[in-house]
Every structure is written in structure tokens, then in C-alpha cells.
Structure 1
């Protein structure tokens, strides 16, 4: 029986890695991202199809509740079902605490927190409509376990995702749905290139030095790649995790110990 997963922010980075891994696991994939990311999403779709699975692009602004509802309807209609939502989309903001503006907070909460709420609501509705026991997998972070300086707004959004994951898991358990989250550490993607560049402006260290210093604390001796994160998401999307819910699982190579 074919299964369907939708991955938000699936056009690149961790989202692309998750899409490719879930395709290898036998999922058809709805690659959901901003309409202007459709060209980049085409690369993700090629990887999914190379794994022998179907893929479609779904234009989605995760901050728009109605858009989220319609995107999940579109994914289910085009792929013939709906079993897993990966709320992967997110942004970072790198600013000293006292410089964070009201607009900064509105933006990052809309993308990192509101979208997870909207996704949980829309996915649960679709699961119930289709009569399936679904899985919702949210993007947290090591910053959901420990707050980090210069990442105050980001850290608060990821703590919010952690709390929402726990609450939603309890509310949706009677329906048979599970809700979990993955918490990456230092991942070599565009987000960390942005973090490194912004930290460089603040502390004057050369480009690449902040990334190197943060990575030096990793027990396994290297920063992660999207495939590392995708492996955990693969478990959370599989039947092997059927008795796991409400958990935020670190995938950081040994940085924090929860």
C-alpha cells in the first residue's frame, strides 16, 4: 500500500534530504514550498522520482492557514492519500536580544510556530477525513532544549514547538495520530551559512570560524548533514515509531544530552 508524505520547506536543505529519504522508504512526496521555490523544488522531485516514487510540487505559504488547508487537500488529491506531515519549514534570526524588533518577532513566530499549529490542525483534519492513523513530525532544534545567545527569538520559537508537540500528542492520541519532533544541531545547510555570516558581523570572527567553533563541541567530531536528520525523520514516519509520541528527539551528534 502506497503512503503519502508532505514535507514543508521541501525545496532545499534538510527538507530535500527528508523528501529523498522518505521516498527511499516508499513514500510518495508532496514537496511543499513557496511558489517562487518551484524551480528548486524540481531538483527534489527528481530525487524522489529516481527512488521510484511519485512527487508533486505544492505551492505553500506556511504562515497562511487557509493555504495550509488547501495545500494538504491538494497533496491528498494528487497523490491519492495522506499519511504523514513533516512541518519542516523554518527560519532563523540572528540578533542581539535588545535589537529584536516587534516585526522580527511577528515574522519568526508566523513561520516557526503558527505554521506548525496550522499544519497540525490541517493534517489531523485530513487524517480523520481519510480514516487513517497519521503521523505529524515537527522541526524543533537543539534551541528547543537550550536557549542560545544571539538566537533569542529563534530559541523561543523552538521551545514553543516543543510544547506544542507535547500538547498535540496528548490531544490527538485518542484518534491514533502521533506527534513528534526532531531537534537538529549544527547542520551544513544554507541556514547555518546565514547564522555564521550574521555572527561574523556581530563578533568580528572570519566567515566560517563561528561554524567551526560551534562544531568543535560535537562528540562525534563533525557537523551533521541533511541525511543525518532525515534518518531520524524516517524512523518517526515509519511503523517502528507507532508507540512513540510527544517526543522531541535530538539529532546533534552529541552536543546536548536530554
Structure 2
């Protein structure tokens, strides 16, 4: 008898997170869907879609920037689904603004969700996986902007560079427990957040700047989900500490 595997995906109400959740459910995982309270209706829609396809899903509303909420979320997943085998720390926010116009409050908000939120998900997922004693897979969401800086995205870039450091250090610490830690680094993705962001960036720069390079280079959320599906697979057991680019060649490592 095959033991059911469980995956927790943060920021799962739309975009990349939703695509990852749907893919992992299709691959046989029981999926815990996380987002903030304002996204509850969208989370419920994703849950219903997964359940209608014959797979198991639950909703876990929590703010990943709050340590007590992340700790409780992991416990709730284990209580309801039996274990935590895969953590996908996908939740993130972005802001386009010239650096000299940003505030410490802007920076704190982005760091709270993108960097601290990822750190908390890594920490409490690893603690649970170590306790279970059967290894696991942890995946974070970096970005092409976490490898190559873009103008007017200074704060976002800093937070995504931070995720690379967290991923590498965590991979070294958790490897002895059979836990791999990796991240994906997408280029321009066709999501609602990115569409809004591109409008903001275009308003801030000359027509001949970096934004023109992104035209026609969009990748689909399903492609990122496919990469995640591979990274959590048995075949990817020797891949750890990596931040994998997926960007149609917009940026080469």
C-alpha cells in the first residue's frame, strides 16, 4: 500500500501557486492550499477544482510573515493530512518604484512576505520533516530579479536575492536529514501580478529600456509547475541548493 504524500503550497489562490497546487494534486499529492484571508474565496475555488478531479485538498488561511501563523499552519496540515512531505514557499509580493522614492515601510513589507515568509516556511517545514524522519522536499520562489537586478525593482530584487541565500544555507543544513532545498527563478510569467507590475514599470521608464526585452518572452505558470514537480520527485534527489532559472533565455547563469 502506497503512503499518501502531502504538499503545502503558499500563495496558492492564483497564478504560479495555483498552477503548482493543481499539478501536485494531479501527481497524487494531497494538497494544503495557503493564502491570506482576503483570498479565501479564491482558495476555496482551487480546492473545489482539485476535489472535483478526485484528489484531496484542504485550505489553510495564514499570513506567512507571522511566525505563529506559519507554525500553526504546519501543525494543521499534519493534523488533517497526516504528514508534510513537500513545502512550496511560493507566496510573494512586488512593488515597482524608483529606489529614492521608496520607504523603509515599503522595504519592510516586501521583506516580511518574501524573505521572512520564506524563512519561516523553510524553518517549520524542516522541523516537521526532521521529526517525521523520512526526508522531504522544500522549494522556494526566487526570480530572475534575484539573479539579475532590474531598475525600479530594488526592494523586490533584494528580497529575491535573499531567498537564494536561504536556499543554499538550508540545503547544507538539512541535507543530512534527507531534505533537499531548491528554488525556482522565473522570468516574465503570465500572471495577474506580473501584468500589473509591467504596467507600473512601463510608466516609470523610457520605451527603449529593459521592458522591451520582455515582450514575447512570457512563460506559462504550468511550466513552472512542471519544474517544481520534477524538483520534488524521486529522480531529483541529488539536486539541492539550486536556484533554477526558467525564463526563455532572458538571463543565463
Please, what TM-score do these two structures have when normalized by structure 1?
0.93
- Once the two structures are superposed, the pairs formed by residues 18-167 of structure 1 within 5 Å of their partners are 18-167=20-169
- Show structure 2 runs of 5+ residues with no match: none
| Structure 1 residue 196: Cα displacement | 1.6
| Structure 1 residue 81: Cα displacement | 1.4
Q: Does 1:250 align with 2:250?
A: no
| Structure 1 residue 204: Cα displacement | 7.3
Deviations 1:86-112 (A, max 9, x none): 000001110111111100110000000
Counterpart Cα distance in 2 of 1:50 and 1:257: 40
Q: Does 1:237 align with 2:232?
A: yes
Counterpart Cα distance in 2 of 1:241 and 1:93: 33
Conserved 8 A contact 2:111-2:159:
yes
Instruction: Give 2:214's aligned residue.
Output: 215
Instruction: Give 2:177's aligned residue.
Output: 175
Conserved 8 A contact 2:202-2:211:
no
SS across alignment from 1:195: helix
Conserved 8 A contact 2:152-2:204:
no
| Structure 1 residue 191: Cα displacement | 1.4
Hey, which bits of structure 1, 4+ residues long, moved more than 6 A? Answer: 209-212
Q: 1:56 to 1:92 in 2, by over 3 A?
A: same
Counterpart Cα distance in 2 of 1:198 and 1:243: 40
Counterpart Cα distance in 2 of 1:188 and 1:210: 20
Counterpart Cα distance in 2 of 1:13 and 1:228: 12
Deviations 1:103-136 (A, max 9, x none): 0110000000001111111001111222220110
| Structure 1 residue 36: Cα displacement | 2.0
Q: 1:211 to 1:55 in 2, by over 3 A?
A: farther
Conserved 8 A contact 1:108-1:153:
yes
- Once the two structures are superposed, the pairs formed by residues 168-207 of structure 1 within 5 Å of their partners are 168-203=170-205
SS across alignment from 1:138: strand
Counterpart Cα distance in 1 of 2:171 and 2:133: 18
Q: Which deviates the most, 146-155 or 123-132?
A: 123-132
Counterpart Cα distance in 1 of 2:198 and 2:96: 9
| Structure 1 residue 254: Cα displacement | 1.4
| Structure 1 residue 202: Cα displacement | 1.9
Question: How many residue pairs align between the two structures?
Answer: 251
Q: 1:211 to 1:6 in 2, by over 3 A?
A: farther
| Structure 1 residue 214: Cα displacement | 3.5
| Structure 1 residue 176: Cα displacement | 1.1
